[in-house]
Structure 1
């Protein structure tokens, strides 16, 4: 299959009076790692299930390589659900071979692929264990192996880092980077926004079934107000309250975080800080994705 992108085009879904998705639109480009973030119930899982054909959309379309998804092309997708989609009493190796066979691999291909992923994901010592006897983290590794077992052309992963220890997070991160380096579009949802910020090429923020912000982390941060970090140990509380265009976010132990617009003169703020005594730190910082997400969702909620 040629390298191709995944398109979610104006997809809507209702459950009675509840709007699960409203004109959801975004694209995951070939070789792109796309982070899909939102609060619980925002519509992330519904979007993924529609992309996989598990749910039917009320309107809109999902396309891969510019064409509507069919049963044949859907077999080329790798899906990792948030809830465990494994047979608890089945052994790890047997389960992966079985799932690979369902995707059309021969017996030999299925065994080879299963053994490769078992080794790669650190499961060799547990290959003959029943899934229900594994820790939640190891179950998550098996779930990832199940999504990768058939060498998919698209990866859709719902909370893949949930329950993983730091070593497993590093392994999974490396696997996802390798897949995107091979031209595969990868979309994953996560509440671990530090990971999303570190790994993803672009991020989509979802709220109440709508895409409310989408772009690279730098693009999203560039549109947000910057904070000024001032460490002035001798500054009295409220020293910055009268500076035009500046609001105090926090003050603690001489360290003040100020919210300042782009038109605020940094030097005027520095001059005010120096008037209180020595300044040990003075820097401008754009908000991290965690704070940006909180701000975007809060702003949407009050509209």
Structure 2
């Protein structure tokens, strides 16, 4: 997928980082921001690329798909160039590469905050804030921050993640920046943390996440599509984006599920990563366009 011209641009990234690291801050200062996160249709379409920093590199049947940074960046640039795509979610390394490539003007840029709960680790629930913090998000002119909240009642580390997320929500709100919370009820099964995707579990997670921080004025939710979404989404009045999750075996069924959930009043759009960046047929543009069409 990588063209010669794009290879030259990517190769320049390392040279710029090595010789002129201040270029990152300069690119952030130059970035043209948009006035409102919502698009003209009142929807929001975000491409997610914060998986690698948590050690989650697989996509579908490709266990190391996201390990190739050049390939990932090309896919991201292609996705961001498609009509109807409003922005991106990523960790500092990814966002800064995109800033240096000059593709984030007029885009909503969300910084991923807690990546310390490495996928498959014994400390996965103890999801510490190891990437962006609220101060850096404000200083670099980003539009908000996203945090993962896994709630395991059997794991005492849950309470520290709850406290850290609450603090981040408050600090982002103080700067009038979006606080995107992705909550799950989770359990450890056979040594791995698994999210519980029943309507009851997702409803409980939404209720807990909605109450984090000193104000919910700038809080958004990132939620999975599960059964009985009308009842699930009734748990909060906060705006929500639907997450894409793993690459689906049946992309058409995934699109249909998004379409049904998007009819609900609190669902404002999509935040999808691997499903669009690594579709089964490798047609990134086609997968992105199909998701945008679902938004209406």
Superposition TM-score, scaled by structure 2 size: 0.36
Greater relative contact order: 1 or 2 (C-alpha under 8 angstroms, separation 6 or more)? 1
Name the structure where helix makes up a greater proportion of residues.
2
